[in-house]
A and B are shown apart, each in its own frame.
Chain A
Amino acid sequence: MFFYYINLAYKSIKQTPIISALMLLAIAIGISVSMTFTALHQARTANPIPEKSDHLYAVQLQTQPEFSTFHTVDEMYQQLTMPDARQLLAAFSSISDNDSKIRSAASYRAGLEVRTDDKPSFLEATRVTNRDFFSLFNVPFLHGKPWSSEADQQGLYEVVIGQVLNQKVFGGGDNVGKVLNLDGQAYRVSGILAPWQPVPRFYDAPWGGAFEKTEQIFIPFSLAQKHEFRSWGNGSGWDDIPINSYQEFLESEQLWIYFWVELNTPQQKAEYEAYLESYIKQQQLSGRFSRPNAQYSLKPVMQWLEYNHVGSQDNAILMILSYLFLAVCLINTLGLLLSKFIRLAPFTSVRRALGASSVQIFYQYIVEVAVLGLLGGVFGLILTALTLTTLQNMSTELFLLAQLDWLIWVLAPAVAIVSTITTGLYPAWLVCRAQPAVYLKIQ
């Protein structure tokens, strides 16, 4: 019987081509608009590392005095000073890849000059960080591995590169062990990453960094003690001590290092919190952390993203308005359905006269409406895909955000069918309730 209804639905839709086309158009446009903005909003508020987002914490320390608030809700800055970063890294340094050790990653963004034999040299975004960065953030390696812990401690010239740079400089392939010339210094390639782009880029999220491409070069953090790399990151400060050299800058109260820690068990979290508390007290003894109740903060990934306003509110407003737009499209469809069903009531009356019950008529109409919804949903999905593809070409940020993921594949037809059926309930009920005799009279 079901396929009979599908057949009837098909015939009925063909019978009123203009009305059917208008309904399909209304549904398709409504679906594509709301789905496009849902996709964008979804990408913006997505969890970039769901497998361990609850165990990764951004560390903040309230090193500044009372009068400096950095205009954040908890009066903390998003980065640490270099002395604090060094201390925190050393406190729980992992010698082996043993899971029970608390691991942390300090990093900042720099720009290094890549010199090659055959091309003019160019500047490339670089992440200066320690080796635990890769295990912390589950960074996938295609060839090789992170540099050794000796490289971390002694500041050896090792480098991990990304696919794009691997292609650009070496022409692709396994180039572990080869030499890369950065800022005139030879670095040994210890590993090559598989394509990696967390969206949002949570480890460097504030001030617009959340939707930038990941760096192609990673070098050991301790190299920062010897070399002043071109800073391509943010920073802030509150004190007025003049800084006359790079060494003074490294030891100053300038805040410019991002710091993340992985705490997998409640015990580890308690241990780390106790450590931070005692660290602050110890620093206060030597005159730093002048606030009497200077705080620390550990924010897990999703909280960190919200704190840094990564999910733009503008998009949420647009998404809400687009669903209201869908509602108008559906009301439109409701009116068209009503008018169509009433007009075609004579045909239904014939079926009733031949013995069909009201329930069967109702079922017939719902099937028709569902078919309409499915078609509208499919067209809407196609329109959504086209819109997102167009948006992708507009900027790096949109390229990362305007992705058609499985959620939309499922959501678009589902929303279309459910909303169209809901819309069709009233017209279907109205017509199947009517007395067939009324419509069988010759008009």
Chain B
Amino acid sequence: MNIPISPVVSSLLKSKVLSLIVLGQIALTIAVVSNAAFFAIEKIQLIERDTGLAETELLTVTVNPTEGVLNVESLQQSIRKVAGVENVSVVIAPLLAREGSSSSYLVDPDDQTLGNGIEAQVTWTDHNFIDTIGVKLIAGRNFSPEETSYAYKRSEVFDWELPVIVSKAFAEALFPKQSALGQVIYNNNKILKIVGIIEKMHSQEPKRDIAEYQIIYSQMLAMGHQVYLIRAKKQNLRQIKSEVTGVLLTVSSKLIVDEPKLVADYKRDYYQQDTLLKNALLGLIGALIIITCLGIVGMALFNISRKVKQIGTRRALGASRQDIMLQFFVENTILSTMGIFLGVVMALVINMVLMSNYAMEKLNIDILLLTCLSVFVLTSLAVILPAKRAASISPAIATRNA
């Protein structure tokens, strides 16, 4: 079977504009799709990061005192009595909710210039925290109940060596050459001792640069509002959510309970913009590919209608149906290849523009190649129907008058 290059090339050259249109569409599609896909994948990776938490099994409820302070132990006890509750911990802020504080920690107490400390996200809590949220302890131990304390006044905030648990990334940043276990770190004239290390955990702001730097205190600041973290099997959470407010109100009337919220919902809300963006990009990619394929089909059908006589003549002179179809595939391949080259160039240009003006990363080559391959395959598939139509043109047309 001859591959009819020269008739294809000459026919392409004759209808330059139409060829350029198809070429341009393929090129622009590759340029936009590769950048959009890359951006979308970045977003997906951001959202899907491991938080270290048992996200789907956690509920938070915030309690606000209206007078005086609230006794943590009695509130925790009352929550534990609710059916389905497996564990409860009190924390200063809900997880993945943009609430909380961070501070800087020094390894060397003589380093009085505080600015040289390493910043980490802080969780004030008790000994139930580790088990409640389900993080993995990879070294050392959890707090004991005797070690944990609740500060009901500012003057009760710890002035002793406080046991703390840190995340692996933070530990390695503080002590790159040795184990952080048993080491002491300093913060604002306070001393903290690392008794345990967890694998990883996300808390207040997972999109910050210090998202993996976590420090967990064995004291809870209980003077104002308190957040209770409840661990339960997923199917029980809804029931617990509806019961817990009433239970808390039976303990004391001097409090306001906020609407309980699942940690999974906090996560969904935290990444809402990113999820929306990702969906918009995927929608854009889908629409673009559909429109380009439809365009190619349309163009090919139009070409056939213009070349009916030519195709009929070729058939009358002995070309088989496959030869005619092959002609279309070759035409499409040549256009696609040229479109791909142009598209790769355009993709890189667009990527550079976006990188320099906005916070976009350098385009991943794998994604670019995958886009080119997909577009090539899809456009080839798009040509099948028109090619078949062309092949079914009867040679008798050549013999018809005019």
Contact = CB atoms under 8 A, between A and B. Distances in A.
B25 A332 contact: yes
**Chain A interface main SS type:** helix
Contacts of A183: 66
A9 B303 CA distance: 24
Contacts of A113: 64, 66, 256
Contact of B154 (A121, A122, A245, A322): A245
A321 interface: yes
Interface stretch (B26-34, B52-60, B124-132, B233-241): B26-34
B363 interface: no
Given A324-B32, A328-B291, A443-B402, A244 B306 contact: no
A242 B39 contact: no
A391 B283 CA distance: 14
Contacts, number: 136
Contacts of B31: 324
Given A67-B113, A68-B114, A332 B295 contact: yes
A243 B159 CA distance: 12
Contacts of B276: 391, 394, 398
Interface in A293-345: 312-318, 320-322, 324-325, 327-329, 331-332, 334-336, 338-339, 342-343
Contacts of A328: 25, 28-29, 32, 288, 291-292
A312 B359 CA distance: 10
Grouping DSSP codes into helix (H, G, I), strand (E, B) and loop, the B interface class, with mixed when no group exceeds half, is helix
A22, A318, A331, A338: most-surrounded residue (chain B CB, <10 A): A331
A329 B357 CA distance: 25
A240 B305 CA distance: 82
Interface in A89-122: 111, 113, 121-122
Contacts of B294: 22, 332
Contacts of A322: 284
B298 A22 contact: yes
Interface stretch (B15-23, B81-89, B175-183): B15-23
Interface string A179-190: 000011000000
A123 interface: yes
Contacts of A318: 277, 280-281
Given A123-B258, A312-B273, A184 B298 contact: no
Given A123-B256, A242-B189, A317-B360, A343 B402 contact: no
A239 B116 CA distance: 13
Contacts of A230: 64, 224-225
A325 B281 CA distance: 11
Contacts of A314: 273-274, 277
A33 interface: yes
B66 A69 contact: no
Interface in B38-84: 39, 64, 66-67
B188 interface: yes
Contacts of B295: 331-332, 335-336
A342 B360 contact: no
A184 B284 contact: no
B373 interface: no
B28 to A, nearest CB: 5
B272 interface: yes
A268 B36 CA distance: 49
B134 interface: no
B386 to A, nearest CB: 12
Interface string A127-150: 000000000000000000000000
Given A240-B114, A321-B36, A443-B402, A339 B299 contact: yes
A279 interface: no
Interface residues of B, number: 57
B305 A343 contact: yes
Given A69-B115, A230-B64, A338-B18, A331 B402 contact: no
A335 B21 contact: yes
A232 B115 CA distance: 27
A338 B358 contact: no
B287 interface: yes
Interface in A19-33: 19, 22, 26, 29, 33
B5 interface: no
A154 interface: no
A426 B354 CA distance: 31
Contacts of A275: none
A227 interface: no
Given A123-B64, A324-B28, A243 B291 contact: no
A317 B39 contact: yes
Nearest to A114: B256
Interface in B181-208: 188-189
Contacts of A77: none
Contact of A67 (B17, B114, B189): B114
A8 B224 CA distance: 75
A442 interface: yes
A168 interface: no
23 contacts: A22-B298, A65-B115, A67-B113, A67-B115, A111-B64, A123-B258, A242-B188, A244-B155, A313-B359, A317-B39, A317-B354, A321-B32, A321-B36, A324-B350, A328-B288, A328-B291, A331-B295, A332-B291, A335-B25, A335-B302, A338-B18, A395-B272, A441-B402
Interface of B: 17-18, 21-22, 24-25, 28-29, 31-32, 35-36, 39, 64, 66-67, 98, 113-116, 154-155, 157, 188-189, 224-225, 256, 258, 269, 272-274, 276-277, 280-281, 284, 287-288, 291-292, 294-295, 298-299, 302, 305-306, 350, 354, 357-360, 402
Interface of A: 19, 22, 26, 29, 33, 37, 65-69, 111, 113, 121-123, 183-184, 207-208, 230, 238-240, 242-246, 312-318, 320-322, 324-325, 327-329, 331-332, 334-336, 338-339, 342-343, 391, 394-395, 397-398, 426, 430, 441-443
Given A33-B287, A67-B114, A332-B292, 4 more contacts: A68-B114, A328-B29, A331-B25, A339-B298
